[in-house]
Amino acid sequence: MKKEIIYISYDGLMESIGISQIYKYLINLQGDYRINIISYEKKIDYQNKKKINHFEQKLKISNLRWTRLKYHKYPMILSTVYDTIKGFIVASFLIIKFKNIKLIHIRGYLPGLIIFPLLYLTKIKILFDMRGFWPDEKADRTNLSRNSLIYKFLKFVERILLQKSEKIICLTYESIDLLLNKYHYLNRSKFLVIPTCVDTNEFKLLNKNKKNKNKIIFAYLGSVDTAYNINVILNFFKNILKFLPHSELRIFTKQTDEFRNIDDGYNFLSDNLIIKNVEHQNVSEELSKCDIGIFYLIDNFSIKASFPTKIGEFLSCGLPIICNNFNKDILGIISSNKLGYIYDFDKLNYEKVSKEIIQLVDDSNINFKCSNFAKTNISLKIGVKLLKEVYDGI
């Protein structure tokens, strides 16, 4: 008899993050278990019958069951309470229906709230897939006060989940050190790291033939706010243009409207700046036309537990990376393996930096080094293998 597993995600299976970080993992898992997925789908996906049918067929082939719930956003707190209660009812029904449930995999803190009563009502083992320090992300990015009742409640939930979980998945080694420093009674053996992995069959190195060494094409991918400071990148690019005047900064983001407000003071960059909303399936092709991936993360406590998806996507497409030193894991990856540069953006000699960038792009081996690192360290294949080992071991 196959071991039944419940997998709960508050992210939708059909949105970009769900496709790359949930769907592709689960359909590639093979083992003596059957996975029952509970996900919360955004309205636009929930009503897309054609898309739903496509996912259902793919999941069925992989022996996966899928219960999709509608995600509610407003009113903010009440909608979350409603979603939590509904998820608890569905999870409880699955436990009753499939008596062989051995494990509940919760992806993030909100799924932890959904199954919170089950921590005390059943002996089912819990896998806590943290995805970062969510309460502290809210404090660092949305100004949630660390003295507020909401923050204190979420930290209480964090503590209980860490205590009750059989295994805990983190994105970075630094986050494990921080948790063990705070919760001294936890055993390091409970933790393992599975970074945000990349599908190297989708994001791959295409032919790189640099024709104009003076025209460096920088790629910025994803969000331009909350965890990120796009103004730092725009200022960096403005100064780089003084030494590499023909270079381009290509910003691939869905936040094109938000960017218009940010861009008010940078209209003079218009000839060298491209802003595009690119569908997920076309991102790899766009990155293949660029030379360097670049971004700046706001340095704070919660970012120590983050591993942005774009890291793997840049590297897998053969792009070295320029970013700031926002956590020890990224510093180790980029600096130790010479896959780009970690800069203090407040203290730059741009003439020196421009020469370093030319040297980086001129390295005939750099694209292969980046792509090979992704394949051997943070590929989807490796992520699936690690997750399978966790499922088999619990």
Q: Would you write out the chain's pLDDT as a tens digit for each of its 394 residues?
A: 788 999 999 999 999 899 999 999 999 998 888 999 999 999 999 999 999 999 999 998 888 999 999 999 888 889 999 999 999 999 999 999 988 899 999 999 999 999 999 999 999 999 999 999 999 999 999 989 999 999 999 999 999 999 999 999 999 999 999 999 999 999 999 999 999 999 999 999 986 655 566 689 999 999 888 899 999 999 999 999 999 999 999 999 887 776 665 555 556 567 788 888 888 889 999 999 999 999 999 999 999 999 999 999 999 999 999 999 999 999 999 999 999 999 999 999 999 999 999 999 999 899 999 999 999 999 999 999 999 999 999 8
Element (H, E) at 221: strand 217-221
Length of the chain: 394
Of 377, 14, 300, 336, whose CA–CA distance to 132 is shortest? 300
Assigned token pair, 302 = 């919660």
Beta-sheet pairing, 248-252 with 273-276: parallel
Q: Give the pLDDT score at 16.
A: 87
CA 377, CA 261: separation in Å to the nearest integer? 38
Name all domains of the chain by residue range, CATH numbers in brackets.
3-197+380-393 (3.40.50.2000), 217-377 (3.40.50.2000)
Structural contact between residues 11 and 107, judged by C-beta atoms closer than 8 angstroms: yes
Of 60, 64, 67, 65, whose CA–CA distance to 31 is shortest? 64
Buried b (16+ CB within 10 A) or exposed e, 120-134: eeeebbbbbbbbbbb
CA 310, CA 220: separation in Å to the nearest integer? 9
Q: Give the pLDDT score at 211.
A: 55
Q: Is the dihedral of CA 66, 67, 70, 72 positive or negative?
A: negative
Assigned token pair, 278 = 């690119």
